[in-house]
Chain A
C-alpha cells in the first residue's frame, strides 16, 4: 500500500502541495469567484422579485381603475336615467296641460253651442207662440166670428202649450 509505504518520504510534499493548491482554490475560486457568482444569482432573484412586485402593482392599479370606471359608469347610467325620467315627466306634464287647454276650449265651445241652441230654441218657441197666437185669433175670428184680443189669445196659447 503506497499510501503507507511511501508515507515517510512523501507526506511533506503531499501536505505542502495540497495546501498550495487547495489554498489557491479557496482564495481565488472560493473567496474571489464564488461570491460574484452568488451575487449574480441574488441580483437575478431580486430582479425577478421586483418584476413580480411591479406586475402585481400594475394589476392592482388596473383593478382599481376598473372599479373606479365601474362606479363612474353606474353614476352616468343613473344620471342618464334621471334625465330620461325627467324628460318623460316634463313631456307628460306638457301634454296634460295641452289636453287640459284643449278640453277647456272644447267645453267652452260646447257651452257656447248649447247656449246658442237654447237661444234658438227659445226664439223658435217664441215664434211658434206668436204664430200660434195669430193662428188662434185668426181661427177664432173665422170660425166663431169672435174677435179675440191678442193678450187673451196669448194667454190661452200659453196654457195650451204648457199642458200639451
Chain B
C-alpha cells in the first residue's frame, strides 16, 4: 500500500490562517490579522444575534422560536438565582453571553461543512480564546469581590470555622486553588474541544485509510470506525453543551464567592 499516503493530519484543523491578505494588519504594533478563527467568531456572533433576535417578538403567547430563546434566558437566570441568589440577576447578561457564545462556537465548529468544502473552525479549541474568556470571568470575580468587600475579600482564603493555628497552612492552599481557577476554567474547555475534534479526525483517518486498503481492511477497520464516529459525533454534541454549561456554571459559582463572601 505504498501507492499514496492518505494525508490526514489531526492537528491541521486547528491551524490559524489569515484571510484575504490581512496578515499584515497591526494595531499598536500587535498583529490583528483577520483569521479563520476570527471569521468563526464573527459567524458565531451573527448566528447568536439572529437566534436571540428571533426570540424578541415579545408576544404574550410565545411562538416556538421565542419559547426556545426564553428557555435559554430562563435557564441562565435560574442557574444564577440558584447559585448566587437574587443578586445573581445582574450577571445574567454576562453569563448568558458567555454560555451562548461558547455553546454556539462549539456547535458551529461541529457542523459537517467539510462536505461542501468549507472548513469549520472551532475557536474554543484554542487556549488563547478560552484563556481570555476565563480571565474575563476571573477578573469579574476579583472586581466584584474587592468592590463589595474591600480587603475583607481576602478572608475568602480562610474557610469558615478554620482553627486559628491552621490558618497559615490553609490560607496558602486556598490561595493557590483560587489562583488555579482561571487556568482550570480555560484549559477544561480547550482540552475537551480539542480532544473531541482530534478523536473525530483520527477516526476519520482510520475510515479513509482502512477503506483505501481494500474491502477486508475497510470491513474490519473502516466500517467499525465509521460507526464509532457516528456515536462520537453525538457524544461531541453533548460535550459541546456540557462544556458551555460547565464554563457558565463555574463562572457563576466563582461570582457567588465574590458576591456572598462565605
What residues make up the interface of A, taking CB atoms closer than 8 Å to B? 1-3, 6-7, 9-22, 24-26, 28-31, 33-38, 40-41, 43-44, 47
B96 and A6 within 8 A (CB)? no
- CA–CA, A24 and B133, complex, Å: 14
Check A30/B60 contact, CB under 8 A, given A2-B16, A25-B48, A37-B69. no
Check A33/B14 contact, CB under 8 A, given A12-B32, A16-B32, A18-B133. no
Stretch at the interface among B70-78, B204-212, B223-231, B237-245: B70-78
B14 and A1 within 8 A (CB)? yes
Given A3-B128, A29-B48, A38-B77, 8 extra CB contacts under 8 A = A1-B11, A2-B15, A10-B37, A13-B30, A14-B123, A20-B41, A37-B52, A40-B58
B31 and A13 within 8 A (CB)? yes
Q: Is the interface of B mostly helix, strand, loop or mixed?
A: helix
B52 and A19 within 8 A (CB)? no
21 chain-A/chain-B pairs, Cβ below 8 angstroms: A2-B12, A10-B16, A12-B27, A13-B16, A13-B37, A13-B38, A14-B35, A14-B132, A18-B123, A18-B133, A20-B41, A21-B45, A25-B45, A31-B93, A33-B53, A35-B92, A37-B56, A37-B69, A40-B62, A41-B74, A44-B62
A residues in contact with B96, CB < 8 Å: 29-30, 34
B60 and A19 within 8 A (CB)? no
- CA–CA, A28 and B50, complex, Å: 12
Selected from A7, A16, A29, the residue in CB contact (under 8 A) with B52 is A29
Tell me the number of A-to-B contacts counted with CB atoms below 8 Å: 141
Chain A min CB distance to B185 (Å): 15
- CA–CA, A16 and B33, complex, Å: 9
